[in-house]
Structure 1
Amino acid sequence: MNLTRRALLTAAFALPLVAAFTPLTWMGQTLASQGSNGEGEAAPLEQRPLVIHSAQGPHRLSVEMAQTQAQRQKGLMGREVLPADHGMLFTYAREQSPHNGFWMYRTLIALDIAFIDSDGTIVAIMTMPPCESASPSNCRAYAPGTPYHAALEVNAGYFEQRGISVGDCVSLSGNAGACGSP
């Protein structure tokens, strides 16, 4: 095996390991990364308080933190209900492409999704109905058309009912209720 091929193979195996141990940060906070419980089962998702700041006032949610690839892939699949003041926050270590989206394969409830930039500003909002197809290739992808660092899923209609829109701001607990760069 030549040196170039060996270097490429080494890099291919090392990059996922580096990503697995790189601390996840968003809005200046280091977020804990959860894996499995050591018995092959996924650990319960961390719950955190989240506030959406809009002209109509602060809106408080309890969110499950989807921080690992496996947690983000599963998302809210198979859930029959999501309490009114709950959601799921998908966080990423790196900025995501405007073309990377979400889908509703095996998701049973209609959801709103807000795509959020690194400062906590909502950059896109969409409503996603469940995909009724048994084939994932027949499920539409919902891409924001703008880069993002996080995405917040809540029950469909949540944002419209509360007057939450693009340009509003999201903060996690520990950010002293402020938006923008820390």
Structure 2
Amino acid sequence: MKYFFFLIGIVLFLNGCGTDNEQQTPAASAARVLEFPATVHFKTTPDSEEPLTSVRVAVAESNMARQQGLMNVYEMPEDAGMIFIFERQEPLSFWMANTPLSLDMVFANEDFEIVRIHQNTTPFSQQQYPSVAPALYVVEVHGGFTAAHDIQEGHFIEFVR
């Protein structure tokens, strides 16, 4: 009889150690998946015919959407990002709490001019990333994206829904 309980214990133990594709880690189960219904073009001048590059973007224009941002987004296509649209232009500051991807943060003013870029931000960091100058828009893309596409402060964004 004691061997029976011993065998049951081993079976239960081994069953718990197995890999079950339906089990997820807490991080994976909390992961958010975004849609990218709009586009941001990065341009050297507001009148540039051809953009330097473009990304598909999720749009955060409500308080709740702006607060969530890219928190708990563990995967995002290389040609995708998020645009934050604020109600008024002012100095802004972002951080990376609960954000697992390294990002480039592109701050743009009401004229769509890029006033500040923070590159390769640290995931899950409490560090503040300020716009320094007043901004109305923030575009977040994968870390290293702006350097790879030669996007610089003084360039422009164009937002298309």
- Tell me the TM-score normalised to structure 1 length: 0.63
Match of 1:155 in 2: 142
Match of 2:42 in 1: 52
* Structure 2, unaligned runs of 5 or more: 1-33
8 Å CA contact 2:112, 2:157 repeated in 1: yes
Secondary structure at 1:159 match in 2: helix
CA apart distance, 1:131: 2.1
Which residue among 99, 121, 131 is the counterpart of 2:124?
131
Secondary structure at 2:85 match in 1: strand
8 Å CA contact 2:36, 2:56 repeated in 1: no
User: How do 1:166-177 residues align onto structure 2 when only pairs under 5 Å count?
Assistant: 166-173=153-160
* Number of residue pairs aligned between Structure 1 and Structure 2: 123
The one-character-per-residue Cα deviations of 1:131-153 (angstroms, maximum 9, x if unpaired) are 26xxxxxx111112111001000
Is 1:76 the equivalent of 2:70?
Answer: yes
Which residue among 83, 86, 97 is the counterpart of 1:89?
83
CA apart distance, 1:45: 6.2
| Counterpart AA for 2:117 | I
* Structure 1, unaligned runs of 5 or more: 1-43, 133-138, 175-182
| Counterpart AA for 1:173 | V
Give 4+ residue runs of structure 1 displaced > 4 Å after superposition. Answer: none
User: 2 CA distance for matches of 1:75 and 1:92?
Assistant: 13
8 Å CA contact 1:66, 1:72 repeated in 2: yes
Is 1:65 the equivalent of 2:59?
Answer: yes
Which residue among 79, 89, 93 is the counterpart of 1:101?
93
User: 2 CA distance for matches of 1:151 and 1:122?
Assistant: 9
| Counterpart AA for 1:62 | R
User: How do 1:105-116 residues align onto structure 2 when only pairs under 5 Å count?
Assistant: 105-116=97-108
CA apart distance, 1:164: 0.5
CA apart distance, 1:81: 1.4
% same residue: 27
